Structure 1
Amino acid sequence: MTTDIKQKAVKSKIQRLVSILKTIILYGLMFIVIYTAVNWWRQPVMPANPQLQLTDYQGQAVDLAALSHEQPTLVYFWGTWCSVCSFTSPTIDQLAADGYPVITIAIQSGSNQDLQSYLTEKNFSFKTINDQEGEIFDDWQGQVTPSYVVLENGEMSQGLTSIQPLWSLKLRLWLASVF
């Protein structure tokens, strides 16, 4: 009789664990769906006639269309004032250091000298365009920072927002080059 009680207790624990596991999976799937929908809604939108020939904060010409014809290029919209960007910018710097084509656009981050000081202080070496008035970001209908765009052959192939791990960005650039 005690064996029967023990079996029922074990069965009850298993049922409880399965129930908890189902709940975790359900909430996880709901999170993924909601996160994906919000990310899609907030992503930048490529303008009809985008300005792809820009000048970085040091006065060097940057041709996003030409870069993206060579290989998919990541455009990273960020700001020195953005607290989330303080977590994502080191990842972007690493991506650029690893040889991936990355152009960053600093939104309303002060003068070129202010931006230079910030980049030097943080030891960032990625190529940066200073969007002092936020006009470029507005043109792309940007809503949040950080935001990212993958350009391929002068066209936007992907847009995303929020924190992105290095492996995810590398995967996105690789997928853009394959498909």
Structure 2
Amino acid sequence: MTTDVEKTGITVKKTPKQKFWSVLKTTLLYGLVFIVIYTAINWWRQPVMPANPQLQLTDYQGQALDLAAMSTDTPTLVYFWGTWCPICTYTSPTIDKLAAAGNYPVVTVAIKSGSDQELQNYMQQNNFDFTTVNDEDGAIFADWQGQVTPSYVVLKEGEMTQGLTGIQPLWSLKLRLWLSSIF
């Protein structure tokens, strides 16, 4: 079936204003679809808090950590990563900046990243100063049903308020921690 425009051979040109609105609508539509898909995938892959989580941990330097106590007054970020993870080479410097700022406690869990000495060497080579628990066999990450690295958990009063995965900019992590402190 042909339209009247096709039969007459007349083409209708859009004005610059019409083109702008058309491009804007298309961009917003694709953006919305991306956000919905990204949120669904992130929700599906996020860590899940165990029924009886191990919140008393020891970092690779032998210091005791109590995540429940740390998250009592201020939300705490738990960052699951690995020295072998290519994406983590981009996200770990952001975590180091967040930890250095000191506004929120940050505890990282290095999954299957070697011995304490190997982990210490890696941390020194990359000038990372964040608190790190060595999850040599991946048991901690498995307990949280972690699927991908990097993964993040925000704890408030010992309970998980948010879980997320993938590359997260500093502003996004700060926003999530701030929101967890309010709600």
Q: TM-score, normalised by structure 1?
A: 0.92
Aligned residues, how many?
172
Shift of residue 11 of structure 1? 4.3
43-52 or 164-173: bigger deviation = 164-173
State the shift of 1:14 in Å: 3.0
Task: Identify unmatched segments of 5+ residues in structure 1.
Answer: 1-7
Match of 1:138 among 138, 142, 145: 142
The correspondence for 1:32, drawn from 27, 31, 35, is 35
Residue in structure 2 matching 1:72, options 68, 71, 75: 75
Once residues 57 and 133 of structure 1 are traced to their aligned partners in structure 2, the CA distance between those partners, rounded to angstroms, is 13
Determine the structure 1 residue equivalent to 2:88.
85
SS of 1:37's equivalent? helix
Measure, in 1, the Cα distance between the counterparts of 2:29 and 2:124.
45
C-alpha separation in 1, matches of 2:53 and 2:131: 19
* Aligned twin of 1:168: 172
Distance (whole Å) between structure 2 residues aligned to residue 59 and residue 134 of structure 1: 18
Equivalent position SS for 2:15: helix
Matches within 5 A, 1:2-151: 11-99=14-102, 100-151=104-155
CA distance in structure 1 between the aligned counterparts of 2:15 and 2:142, rounded to whole angstroms: 57
Letter in 2 for 1:75: V
Measured on the aligned residues, the alpha-carbon RMSD in Å equals 1.4
Residues 39-70 of structure 1 show CA distances to partners (whole Å, capped at 9, x for unaligned) of 01100000000000011101111111110113
Q: What SS is found at the alignment partner of 2:27?
A: helix
Could you tell me how far 1:10 is from its partner in structure 2? Answer: 7.5
Identity of aligned residues (%): 72
Task: Give the structure with the higher percent helix.
Answer: 1
TM-score normalized by the length of structure 2 = 0.90
Structure 2: which 5+ residue stretches go unaligned? Answer: 1-10
Secondary structure in 2 matching 1:69: coil
- 1:84-124: per-residue Cα shift (whole Å, max 9, x none)? 10000000000000002000000000010110000000000
